[in-house]
Amino acid sequence: MKKVEIYDTTLRDGAQAEDVSFTVEDKLRITEQLDHLGIHYIEGGFPGANPKDSRFFKEVKGLPLKHSRIVAFGSTRKASTRAEEDTNMAVLLQADTTHVAIVGKSWDFHVTEALGVTLKENLAMIEDSIAYLKSKNKTVFFDAEHYFDGFKSNPEYAVQTLKASLRAGVDWVVLCDTNGGTMPDGIRKIFKETRKVIKIPFGIHFHNDSDVAVANSVIAVESGASLVQGTINGLGERCGNANLCSIIPNLKLKLGIDCISDQRLQYLRDVSRFVSEIANIPPNRRQPYVGDSAFTHKGGLHVHAVRKKPTTYEHIRPVDVGNVQRTLVSDYSGLSTIIHKANEYGIIVKPENKPKLQEVLQILKEMEDRGYQFEGAEGSFELLMKRSLGLHRRFFNLIGFRVIVEKRKEGEASISEATIMLKVDGEVEHTASVGNGPVNALDNALRKALEKFYPSLKEVHLIDYKVRVLTGMRGTASRVRVLIESGDKQRKWGTVGVSENIMEASWQALVDSIEYKLLKDKELGDV
C-alpha cells in the first residue's frame, strides 16, 4: 500500500487567514488535537517573526506528543549574507526543532521583481541555506514557492532551484502553487515533467484561489507526491489552503492510501470542529465529510431510502470520519455518539440506561438549537451527561450575584466589582472582589467564596475567554455564546454558556469550569 505523510500548516499558513488570530495557548491546544489525529508534521510558525511564535516553540517542548514532529518555518538567507551570519538561519536554530522548512523562490519573475536579486544569487541563497541547516543535523523541507507558475514561465530555471536544494542535501522538495491558479491538468503535466529530472521524495502545497486545491492535491499524490501540506478546514490567506479535512479521507477512503490509521480518521470531525471553535469561526455545516450537513437527509425519497440502505445516498459511512447520519424529520443515529462519549467519561452503559441516554440526546439537541456548541467545551458536555444521568452533585448553590461597572472619569479605565452569595453544605458565604472587567471580577469573587471550602481551586486559572454573537439581527441584544478555557497543574478544559445577557452566559461557563475541576478532584479522591 502506498504511504503518504500529512504535513499540517494550520498554525502558520492557517493563522494568516483573515479574521483568524491564535494565541499561544490556542496553538498548543490545536497541536495536541493534531497529534491525536495522527498528523505526521505540524508547522508551528515562523520563529523570530513575533514573540508569540517564539514562545510557542519553547512551550511546545512540554507537550507529550505521540505522533507528530514539530517543524519550524523560515526563509532562505538574505542576499549577500553568509548563512551562518544570517538572522533567518539563527532564529530557525533557536527554535530547536529537529525539522525545519525553508521557503525559496522558484519563479524567475519573483526572483527579479520581488526579491530584487539575480537568478544566480537566488540559487546560491537556496543552496547555502539548506546546506547550513543540514550541517546542524536538521531534516529540511524546501518549499519551492510559486513552482508551478515558475515552471510555466521558465521551466529550466524552476528546475534549477530544485537542483540547488538537492546539491545541499535537502530531505524533501515541496512543490507549491502559491497563487492557487493552476488547474488540475496543469498540475499533472508539470509534475510528470519535473519527476523526469528530479529523483527525491516530493511534497505538494496548494492554495485554493481557483477552488481546486483539494483536487490538485489528490492528482499530485496520484502523480507521485508522498507528502501533502494543507490546513484544517482549509484556513489560509486569501481563499485558503488545501483542506486536509477533505484530502485525508479522499486519500484514505477513496484511493486506499495509508496516511493516518482508521482509528485516527474517526477523530477528523472532532478536530475540524475544535479548530473552528478555537479560531472563533462558525463551522461550515456543508463542508464535505465533517460538516453537519454532510450526511443529513431531508424528507421524501432520500430519507426513505437511506433508512433501508445508507449507501443509497451516502458515499462513505459517516462514522469513518467521526460524523453521524441525520434526518431532519427524525434523527435516531445520534445515540451511538452519546454512548461513545459516555464510555469516554467512564460511564458504564447498561441496557436500562439507554432510555436515559436518549433523554440526554434530546437535551443536547435542544441546547444546540439555542446556540450551545460543545466542540472546545468538553468540560460542559461531560457535566451535562453526568447531571442528566444523576452521576453528579452540585458542589455549591448560588443565592445571588451582582456586578457593577463604574467609570468615574473620561479617559480613565472603568472599575469592575462583583459581589456574590453562595451556599456550600448549608453554610452561606458572602464576598466581593474587583477585576479587569466584569467577567474577571465575577470569576475572582466566585473563587474567593469557594476556596476556603475547596482549596484546590487555587490551582485553577483562566486561560482564554471568547465571545461569539450567534445572530446579529438584534444588535447588542443578540444571543451570545461564551467559551472559556481553564486549566490547573494537570489538565485543561473548556466550558460554554449561552444567553442574551453576556454576564449570564459567562456565569454559566464559569460555574461549569469550577464544577468540572471539583468533579475531577472528587473522582481522584481529592474532594
State the chain's maximal CA–CA distance in angstroms.
Answer: 82
Residue ranges matching CATH 3.20.20.70 in the chain? 5-279
Q: Which pLDDT does position 363 carry in this prediction?
A: 85
Strand partners, 400: 421
Question: In terms of C-beta density within 10 A (0-12 exposed, 13-18 middle, 19 or more buried), how is residue 375 classed?
Answer: buried
Count of Cβ atoms closer than 10 Å to residue 467 Cβ: 13
> Does position 289 have pLDDT exceeding 90, yes or no?
yes
Cell of 48: 523570530
Which among 46, 132, 61 is positioned nearest to 92, based on CA atoms?
46
**What region does 475 belong to: left with phi over 0, alpha with psi -120 to 50, or beta?**
left
pLDDT at position 336, please? 62
Confidence (pLDDT) at 393: 83
Instruction: Give one DSSP letter per residue of 92-158, joined into a string.
Output: HHHTT-SEEEEEEE--HHHIIIII---HHHHHHHHHHHHHHHHHTT-EEEEEEETHHHHHHH-HHHH
Stretch 344-371: mean pLDDT, rounded? 81
For the chain, what is the mean pLDDT?
Answer: 91
> What is the CATH architecture of 5-279?
Alpha-Beta Barrel (3.20)
β-strand pairing of 296-297 with 326-327: parallel
Query: Higher confidence at residue 22 or residue 343?
Result: 22
Say whether pLDDT at 330 is over 50. no
pLDDT of the residue at 334: 59
Q: Supply the DSSP symbol for 456.
A: G
Res 326 pLDDT > 80: no
Give per-residue pLDDT as tens, 460-514.
988 889 998 887 666 667 889 999 999 998 888 999 999 999 999 999 999 999 9
pLDDT at 329 over 50: no
Average pLDDT for residues 292-296, to the nearest whole number? 90
Count Cα atoms within 13 angstroms, Cβ side, for 376: 31
Confidence of residue 409 (pLDDT cuts 50, 70, 90): confident
pLDDT in tens, 163-206: 999 999 999 999 999 999 999 999 999 999 999 988 889 999 99
Q: Is the pLDDT of residue 438 over 80?
A: yes
Out of 249-258, 292-301, 384-393, least confident range: 292-301
Cα(236)–Cα(1) distance, integer angstroms: 31
d(CA 100, CA 134): 10
Confidence of residue 37 (pLDDT cuts 50, 70, 90): very high
Assess contact for 297 and 308: CB atoms under 8 A: no
Residue 94's contacts (CB-CB under 8 Å, 6 or more residues apart) are 47, 48, 54, 57
Q: Give the type of residue at 302.
A: H
pLDDT at 475: 66
**522: Cα within 13 Å, side-chain hemisphere:** 12
- Say how far apart CA 498 and CA 372 lie, in whole Å: 6
pLDDT in tens, 90-144: 999 999 999 999 999 999 999 999 999 999 999 999 999 999 999 999 999 999 9
Rounded Cα distance between 76 and 49, Å, is 14
| pLDDT of amino acid 77 | 96
DSSP 13: T
* DSSP character string of 431-461: EEEEESSHHHHHHHHHHHHHTTT-GGGGG-E
